[in-house]
Amino acid sequence: MCDYWGSGYDFSSAEHRLNRHPQFRTVIDGLGIHFAHVRSARADAVPLLLTHGWPGSIVEFFDVIGPLSSTFHLVVPSLPGYGFSDAPAEAGWGVSRVADAWAELMSRLGYSRFVAQGHDWGTSVSTALGLRHPSRIIGLHLVPPLVAPDPATFDTLTPAEQAALDDLAAAERGDGYSFVQSTRPQTIGYGLVDSPAALCAWIIEKFHAWTDGDPLTRDQLLDNLMMYWLPGAGASAARMYWESFGEVQAVFRGDGSAAPVVPVPVGCSIFPRENPRPSRRWAARRFPDIRYWNEPARGGHFAAFEQPALFVDEVRSCVAALTS
């Protein structure tokens, strides 16, 4: 991969795909935020906020922005410390503060209410929007919802629930990245901003582990990697774990205060190679107003990137259920 990156990769195609869409920067809470904003030709289109996670970027949405913009007004921001958003120079930019910034961004764009969609950190940010700004949220589309397995079901587990528990246990062998980034992000960060090989290994390994089969080309993988290499975001992106990974761990410990009930309508898509893969009855404890639930046949952690057509169908079906 590094040999191809140095001798065969051409970033100009990624530049072209990114620059097809209107992009902007605005300062919110003292931080410069980069985002794409694509208005639908339909005046009655539903505003849709798409939030990526780690080790992704807005590159994940390259192939879905066009199709989705026929139905939705799209806002696609880069998380603080990622891509062309500024790197925070102070502590405190965790999930809740990002959610507040996104609410402000949507206000500035004229969207009083909107659907929040996300995966990975985007799931947590979207959930925080539902908790902190419920009057603004038409509904959430979570891929997947973040909930702990329900111990009360352990005597009556379905095969799918047992497989989900087994995969959670097996995934602990690959969780070293999260503990490093949540405890010493600066230490690994110096390597990630200094060495292309270190950054490539750190990020591409997760695409190898978390995708369903081999759905992405080398160019696609490197398009995303460049969103970390060009702005030197390896360290600043890792700091999201230092800020908020404890909250995620607390949810999976079943801490009630860390996983409050989310009052807004929710739709969920559970892709087969995602991890975690909660069942609907587990999710309903935290998300009591589930309007849409589907388990597509293909796809992993990076659903929009891996299976853009399936992802578009999931978003449209979910929003239809949320707004019917």
Tens of pLDDT, residues 252-290: 887 777 899 999 999 999 999 999 999 999 999 999 999
Q: Tell me the C-alpha distance between 175 and 258, whole Å.
A: 21
Q: pLDDT tens track of the chain, all 324 residues? A: 999 999 999 999 889 988 999 999 999 999 999 999 999 999 899 999 999 999 999 999 999 999 999 999 999 999 999 999 999 999 999 999 999 999 999 999 999 999 999 999 999 999 999 999 999 999 999 999 999 999 999 999 999 999 999 999 998 889 999 999 999 999 999 999 999 999 999 999 999 999 999 999 999 999 999 999 999 999 999 999 999 999 999 998 877 778 999 999 999 999 999 999 999 999 999 999 999 999 999 999 999 999 999 999 999 999 999 999
Task: Exactly one of 111, 177, 241, 292 is catalytic; name it.
Answer: 241
Model pLDDT, residue 253: 82
Active site residue 241: yes
Q: Report the b/e string of 218-231 with b at 16+ CB within 10 A.
A: eebbbbbbbbbbeb
- CA neighbours closer than 13 Å in the CB half-sphere of residue 57: 25
Task: Exactly one of 120, 150, 212, 223 is catalytic; name it.
Answer: 120
Q: Which amino acid is at 102?
A: W
Model pLDDT, residue 172: 86
Q: Tell me the C-alpha distance between 250 and 67, whole Å.
A: 37
* Residue 232 phi, psi dihedral angles, 5° rounding: 65, 45
What are the chain's domains? 12-163+244-323 (3.40.50.1820)
Task: Exactly one of 34, 52, 119, 301 is catalytic; name it.
Answer: 301
What does the pLDDT look like over 14-40, one tens digit per residue? 899 889 999 999 999 999 999 999 999
Answer for the pair 113, 138: CB distance below 8 angstroms, yes or no.
yes
